[in-house]
Amino acid sequence: MSNNFDDKFNAVQSTLRELGRQPLSLEDQEMLHGLLDELDGYVHRQPRAPEAPAPRVEALELLARLDQDFNHRLEPERVVEIAHRWALEASAADQAWVLLYRNDGEAGCRLESFPAGFVDLEAPPVRVALNDLVPQQADNPLNPGCRLVVPILYNGGPLGAVVLDRGEGFSAAEIRFLGYLCSRTAAALENVRLSQAVQDAILAKSRFVSVVTHELRVPMTSIKGYADLLRQGMVGSLTEQQTDFIDIIRNNVERMSNLVSNMSDISRAETGRLRLEFSTVSPGNLVEDTLTNQRDKFEEKEHQFTLEIPADLPEIRTDPNRLAQVLANLISNACSYTPVGGEIQVRAAGEGDGVRFEVVDNGIGIRPEDQARLFTQFFRSDDPVVREEPGWGLSLNVSKLLVGLMGGEMGFSSTPGSGSTFWFWLPIEGPRSEDNHSAGGKK
């Protein structure tokens, strides 16, 4: 075999890996080589330009195109349609059907055909091929010619079969190619099943989170309300110790409320139900309002605060409530991990066709081993200094998610012992499609 062909063969293996498949096994490589003779014949039957590539190179490109078709879209109907089209065209058969088992619950599994109308589901060679798990070729019981049945196998069991009718018999090379087609069909169908199982699990989790967060909000609102009444002296004056106890109750209710809110946002985003309300806002005014709401956090730890916003900062199209939420999360994070008397800066400035926001502190910083996981849900460093601060490990994850939905980007830089800078950038004109982003993510 020429070096040029070996190079092309290796290139196809790389292509298959890039499509998400495992490297080809020795058995797959041998089968791939065996398919080339038949594919050469198939390619020769197609119209060719004078400067077309060598037939065996075209054959390899044909196999790559087959996998690209299967990986284009994860829908069962699409997979069956592709398998049917390839089987019919590659074999030059007169007719082709794809048979698949469907689960009817208590009635068990039954075979269905695509396209509909295949009536010999119980006759040989269909039953023989599905029982023996090997291709079967026999005389066509209805018309002169030959019928070939190639089972679609996954993990040693049948998912269905490809049936082809043709006036003449099928060669060994053709049967090998159809076997390859069926193996790829089985893998694609399994990917569809796994994808659907993941979506079902996400939906079930979302429903559970929705119920839990709703049930938690009611008692938390009641607890917070009665705690506020007690602190205001509505049932009599409080001692200093009693006031401290009430403050502890309120602070922990606030923590629980943030957790419930973050979990709800994540759940709705995962299922495409998180809706953003876009409008044109002044980022400078919004930053100032957010800082006013966070002032108690600064004063509690005597932080030195600096605000840097240019007078000519452009307005941006975004969701003001979600932007304020992101800023509040980053400012709260900076307050939590900056020692008493430390410095915190909030900046905003135009950058390209957007606005860049920064929250800078001179706090404890982030260890290098923690930085790669910082935006992961529920991640909290095992650093004892970090563990001293209460938290759930969700605010940064939610903030990055929201920035992405608003069409922007988020990142950070940090030096342990010197502090951290968290930044995010939002486009002036908003995301390209507000409908896509308001429904739960980029598409």
pLDDT (0 to 100) of residue 360? 96
* Residues sharing a CB contact under 8 Å with residue 216, sequence separation 6 or more, in sequence order: 256, 260
Mean pLDDT of 43-71: 56
Q: Is the pLDDT of residue 32 over 80?
A: no
pLDDT (0 to 100) of residue 412? 96
Tell me the C-alpha distance between 388 and 379, whole Å.
15
SS3 93: coil
Mean pLDDT of 249-266: 81
Query: Are 426 and 355 in contact, with CB atoms under 8 Å apart?
Result: yes
pLDDT (0 to 100) of residue 2? 47
Mean of the per-residue pLDDT values for the chain? 81
pLDDT (0 to 100) of residue 272? 77
Q: Which residue has the higher pLDDT, 25 or 432?
A: 432
pLDDT over 70 percentage in the chain: 79
DSSP 289: H
Compute how many other C-beta atoms are within 10 angstroms of the C-beta atom of residue 6: 10
Q: Is the peptide bond before 115 cis (omega within 30 degrees of 0)?
A: yes
pLDDT (0 to 100) of residue 196? 84
Query: Are 317 and 408 in contact, with CB atoms under 8 Å apart?
Result: no
Cβ-based burial of 26 (10 A; exposed 0-12, middle 13-18, buried ≥19): exposed
Mean pLDDT of 141-153: 89
Tokens 């009718």 locate to 165
Alpha helices in 105-171, H assignment, sequence order: 126-132
pLDDT over 90 percentage in the chain: 36
pLDDT (0 to 100) of residue 374? 92
pLDDT band at 118 (very low <50, low <70, confident <90, very high): confident
pLDDT (0 to 100) of residue 261? 82
Q: Is the pLDDT of residue 46 over 80?
A: no
Mean pLDDT of 369-396: 87
Q: Is the pLDDT of residue 440 over 80?
A: no
pLDDT (0 to 100) of residue 49? 46
CA angle 160, 166, 172 (to 5 degrees): 70
pLDDT (0 to 100) of residue 207? 77
Tell me the C-alpha distance between 423 and 421, whole Å.
6
Tokens 């979990």 locate to 263
Window from 27-41, 156-170, 211-225, 370-384 with minimum mean pLDDT: 27-41
pLDDT in tens, 192-237: 888 888 888 877 877 777 777 778 888 888 888 988 899 888 888 8
Tell me the C-alpha distance between 378 and 368, whole Å.
18
Mean pLDDT of 367-383: 90
pLDDT (0 to 100) of residue 269? 80
Nearest Cα neighbor of 331 from 300, 376, 368 is: 300
Query: Are 126 and 163 in contact, with CB atoms under 8 Å apart?
Result: yes
Q: Is the pLDDT of residue 42 over 90?
A: no
Q: Is the pLDDT of residue 294 over 90?
A: no
The separation between CA 183 and the C-alpha centre of its own chain, rounded to angstroms, equals 26
Cβ-based burial of 20 (10 A; exposed 0-12, middle 13-18, buried ≥19): exposed
Query: Are 281 and 318 in contact, with CB atoms under 8 Å apart?
Result: yes
Tell me the C-alpha distance between 229 and 251, whole Å.
15
Half-sphere exposure of 391 (CA within 13 A, CB side): 23
DSSP 105: G
CATH number (3.40.50.920, 2.60.120.200, 3.20.20.220, 3.30.565.10) of 279-438 reads 3.30.565.10
> Which helix or strand (DSSP H or E) is residue 83 part of?
helix 76-91
pLDDT (0 to 100) of residue 51? 46
The separation between CA 319 and the C-alpha centre of its own chain, rounded to angstroms, equals 23
pLDDT band at 273 (very low <50, low <70, confident <90, very high): confident
Tell me the C-alpha distance between 342 and 287, whole Å.
20
Mean pLDDT of 79-99: 89
Q: Which two tokens stand for residue 23?
A: 């490297």
Positions of E strands within 282-418: 304-308, 316-318, 343-351, 354-361, 409-415
pLDDT in tens, 325-373: 999 999 999 999 999 999 999 999 999 999 999 999 999 999 999 999 9
Positive/negative CA dihedral, 284, 287, 289, 291 = negative
Long-range contacts formed by 292-299: CB under 8 A, 24+ apart:
293/328, 294/328, 294/331, 294/332, 294/335, 297/331, 297/332, 297/335, 298/335, 298/344
Query: Are 114 and 134 in contact, with CB atoms under 8 Å apart?
Result: no
pLDDT band at 36 (very low <50, low <70, confident <90, very high): low
SS3 331: helix
pLDDT band at 7 (very low <50, low <70, confident <90, very high): low
Mean pLDDT of 408-412: 96
